[in-house]
Amino acid sequence: VDAIILLYILLLVLCLSLPHALAACSEVDSMTEAVAGKGHLLGCISCKRREEVSASTTVDWHFRPPGELEYRHIFHYKHPTADILDDDFSGRLEWRGTQHDDIQIGAVYLSNVTFNDSGTYLCTLHRTLFLPVQNEEVSRRKGKLLTCPVIGAITQHRGWTSEIMMFVLIVVLQLWLILVLVYCYKKISADHERREAKKALKCIFSSLALPKSKLLDK
């Protein structure tokens, strides 16, 4: 009975903590391959260590083309205002991050991708933590830079085709393996039944031959 009560308590605690677990922030890698002529989401997630502390955050995006040393400031967001700072990205960057001051997702959507958009994108979050004693300024630059090679739609189509062909090949090989196993099983079963039939016939012939030998002895 004590074990059942303990199990019930553990399940209750798990159910109560589940919504908080589902709402927790999780830092994941962004997609790193864009397709020319289509849109691409530039992901940027920076989780707070303590969710209960309120904060105000601004986000800046920088871009460095291949072969260049300096980053260009292309985008700035301070809720609720988004500013595109580079003419090459004018009208093509859209805020897709957190919709309030306490920003943890700083993603932007780049529409109508061109081959000139290939390069390295850098996301920086400037966060002010509102602490009881004194506010704390935190600036976090994502340690992993997002290199975004732009590929053509034909190249992507070829990639999808090769993946589909690989999947079909794996399925065909699995079906072939199943057929081989079934064939081997049937063959082994037939051989086993044949051996058992031979044993049965030998047994019958032996039992029929036994009276004749006894008659000859007499």
* Percent of the chain predicted with pLDDT > 90: 26
- Window from 15-24, 66-75, 186-195, 204-213 with minimum mean pLDDT: 15-24
Nearest to 74 by CA among 10, 124, 25: 124
- The phi and psi torsions of 207 (rounded to 5 degrees) equal -70, -30
DSSP H or E run through 188: helix 153-217
* CATH of segment(s) 27-151: 2.60.40.10
Q: CA 137, 126, 109: angle at the middle one, nearest 5?
A: 165
Q: Backbone phi, then psi, for 62, in 5-degree steps?
A: -125, 155
pLDDT, the chain, mean: 76
Burial of 69-79, coded b for 16+ CB within 10 Å and e otherwise, reads eebeebbebeb
pLDDT of residue 47: 81
Closest CA to 31 of 21, 39, 20, 23: 39
Residue 145 has pLDDT above 50, yes or no: yes
DSSP 105: B
Cβ atoms of 71 and 82 closer than 8 Å: no
Amino acid identity at 56: S
Q: Quick one: which of 81, 105, 82, 102 has its CA closest to 94?
A: 82
| Long-range own/partner contacts, residues 15-21 (CB < 8 A, 24 or more apart) | none
Q: Is the pLDDT of residue 78 over 70?
A: yes
pLDDT at 52 over 80: no
Q: What is the pLDDT of residues 105-142, one digit of tens each?
A: 999 999 998 888 888 899 999 988 888 777 777 776 66
- Band of the pLDDT at 23, cuts 50, 70, 90? very low
pTM assigned to the model: 0.57
Rounded CA-CA distance 200/194 in Å is 10
Structure tokens at 134: 């004194």
Least confident span in 8-22, 24-38, 108-122, 126-140: 8-22
